[in-house]
Amino acid sequence: MPISKVGVAGCGLMGSGIAEVLARADIDAVVYEIDLDGIDRGRHRIESSLGRAVKTGKLSDNEVDLAVRRLSYTTDLEAMADCELVIEAIVEDAYEKIALFAQLDSVLANPAAIVASNTSSIPIMKLAMATSRPEHVIGLHFFNPVPVLRLVELVTSLLTGDETVTRTRKFAQEQLGKTVIPSPDRAGFVVNALLIPFILSAIRMVESGFASAEDIDLALVEGCAHPMGPLRLADLIGLDTTKAVSESLYEEFKEQLFSPPPLLSRMVDAGLFGRKSGHGFYSY
């Protein structure tokens, strides 16, 4: 049976993209945020993105109306009680996520409901062990912007059940039209284990004065055909998220190449989070 009702916890950059993709796939989604401001910001992000899809001819006004009607917003976790799947996309903070997984475990009425995390780097096992249903906990790692990028990493912990894997893979492939690759439960999974050290190396180049952010980005775009350079990409991901992922990778592997450069840490301390705060390596 296809999954027809999904909860999305957190409606920032990623949660809003995930909710939009669900709504566009005719799936009812309950979007949970920490407060009403979070809901307003998330709803605005989703509706602006749907508006852009109309302008570029990807969706009709009618399709947008239908998608908007699929979404409901709440600050009460109980509103997710009857969801068959919850996708968690709150801040990249293990303590916050563990607390939320424990709460979700007691709220979800169906013992077979799946709890998935969109974490970029926190081991799924840590989240699974906060619940009484580790066999139903899995990683479902989308990419930003979710409505555009097709990849999803499916991350199984040592305790994820086969049925959960099959059901979640089918959901991502058949209902959302995503391209799925499996990943073992190691910090960073496949993509971020490769991408984050690359971004951190670019930040170290800026920090040491070896090259400017503009020149590094231009070099990778014009010389390697990347769609955007690593500093612009870091701004898009969010420098706070980039730093959090780097710390998880460093904690897991203790390799120097994963440690956050001081420049990144200071920019995050200063609230320079990149595109989402208006300033990072570039201004928006």
Contacting positions for ligand NAD (CB under 6 A) = 9-15, 32-34, 38, 89-92, 96, 100, 118-120, 141-144, 237-238, 241, 276
Give the integer Cα–Cα distance in Å for 237 and 231: 10
What is the sign of the dihedral through the CA atoms of 72, 73, 79 and 85?
A: positive
Q: How far is the CB of 119 from ligand NAD (least distance, A)?
A: 4
Tokens standing for 67? 């998608």
Looking at the Cβ atoms of 160 and 192, the one nearer to ligand NAD is 192
Q: How far is the CB of 69 from ligand NAD (least distance, A)?
A: 22
Looking at the Cβ atoms of 113 and 244, the one nearer to ligand NAD is 244
Q: How far is the CB of 12 from ligand NAD (least distance, A)?
A: 2
Looking at the Cβ atoms of 50 and 127, the one nearer to ligand NAD is 127
Cross-strand pairs, 181? 153
Expressed in angstroms, the distance from the first to the final Cα of the chain is 44
Looking at the Cβ atoms of 34 and 66, the one nearer to ligand NAD is 34
What residues contact 247, with CB distance under 8 A and at least 6 apart? Answer: 260
Catalytic residue ranges: 120, 141, 153, 192
The residue ranges of DSSP E strands in 36-150, in sequence order, are 71-74, 85-88, 114-117, 137-142
**CA 100 → CA 127, 137, 176, distances in Å?**
9, 13, 25
> What are the phi and psi torsion angles at 208 (to 5°)?
-85, -5
C-beta nearest to ligand NAD: residue: 12
Give the integer Cα–Cα distance in Å for 278 and 284: 5
Q: How far is the CB of 99 from ligand NAD (least distance, A)?
A: 7
